[in-house]
Amino acid sequence: MFTLSQLESFVAVAETLHYGRAAERLSMTQPPLSRRIQLLERELGVHLFDRSGRSVRLTAAGQAFLGDARRILGLTEQAALSVRRTLAGEIGTVALGFTASAAHSVLDGIVGAIHAELPGVGLVLRERVSGAQLEELRSGELDLALVRPPVPGTGIAYRSLHRESLLLATPADHPLAAPDRAPHVRDLDGEPFVMYSPAEARYFYEVLVGVFRRVEIVPHYVHYLSQVHTILALVRAGLGLALVPRAAETLKLDGVVLRPLAGVEGEPVELVAAWRADDDNPALHAVRDLVTGLADREAL
């Protein structure tokens, strides 16, 4: 079977129609170039060049073979490029998990940056609660997970990506929605309150329980739910107040007022990126570095 070096030599001679210039292009001397062409012709069983006279011309067989030779060389170059890009993480597939609330805060920035800076990486997006994401991360179904802390277990690496504050959600006609009021978390004592589910939204449940415990209040929990948009729907219906992450502002739900709340320290809502520490997927490494870099620049 012919070799790639023989094909390169053939294409160089075919395009220059001059052995000397072709040898210069290939950074070699003319005798070994002629030898390559002779071996290629012997392998194919045809004459590729007409060497009669002082000029070099392609034979009919040479003309027919030139297009195929160029395509073969092009495919080998593309294959080599693909391998290098794969190893560099520039192409590949990453299964990315995220929580519903992350979809309202950082997901668009992350996905947009990946498409812009790593266009050869395909994303498989999966919306899951944090617990399900961590299970799928360990099983290999997910490569990167956007989850709420903590991240238990060994073999999982993670880092903080984003923090945000809590806002008070009230019906539009509630006294705490009035612009001349400055709501304080103590105003929630004994109030009907739509709470996060301790089973399906345990992270938010524990964050809010910690907030209430620190100021020694006890709201009256009327419903337990897991999704922010559902909680806001019940607030709009007048069934109670709620505390939601600041990202809920993007939902812009009519009939619901979101207000800053005094008495809540800092930005208690945290999101982390988690991945298997031994994952050798180059595309994951590139996406992970991009995402953590966005966090370092506070671009999320």
Would you state the pLDDT for residue 152? 85
Bond into 31 cis (ω within 30): no
Q: What angle do CA 257, 262, 264 make, to 5 degrees?
A: 105
Q: What is the pLDDT of residues 241-290, one digit of tens each?
A: 999 999 999 998 999 999 999 999 889 999 999 999 999 888 999 999 99
For residue 156, which of 183, 182, 171, 135 has the smallest C-alpha distance? 135
What amino acid occupies position 263?
A: G
Q: What is the pLDDT of residues 162-207, one digit of tens each?
A: 999 999 999 999 999 998 889 999 999 999 999 999 998 999 999 9
Record the tokens describing residue 19, joined without a space.
């052995």
Tell whether the model's pLDDT for residue 10 goes beyond 80: yes
Tell whether the model's pLDDT for residue 88 goes beyond 80: no
CA distances from 153 to 137, 158, 182 (A): 12, 11, 42
Tell whether the model's pLDDT for residue 89 goes beyond 80: no
Question: What is the percent of the chain with per-residue pLDDT over 70, rounded to a whole number?
Answer: 96
Would you state the pLDDT for residue 267? 94
Span of 12-21, 72-81, 158-167, 249-258 with lowest mean pLDDT:
72-81
Tell whether the model's pLDDT for residue 81 goes beyond 70: no
Would you state the pLDDT for residue 83? 67
Tell whether the model's pLDDT for residue 52 goes beyond 90: no
Mean pLDDT throughout 211-228? 95
Q: Which residue has the higher pLDDT, 75 or 275?
A: 275
Count the alpha carbons within 13 Å of 85 in the hemisphere toward its beta carbon: 14
36, 5 Cβ separation under 8 angstroms: yes
Beta bridge partners of 58: 49
Mean pLDDT throughout 34-51? 91
Would you state the pLDDT for residue 229? 92
Would you state the pLDDT for residue 172? 95
Distance separating alpha carbons of residues 169 and 232, to the nearest angstrom: 7
Q: What is the pLDDT of residues 95-149, one digit of tens each?
A: 999 998 888 889 999 999 999 999 988 899 999 889 899 999 999 999 999 999 9
Chain centre distance of CA 192: 40
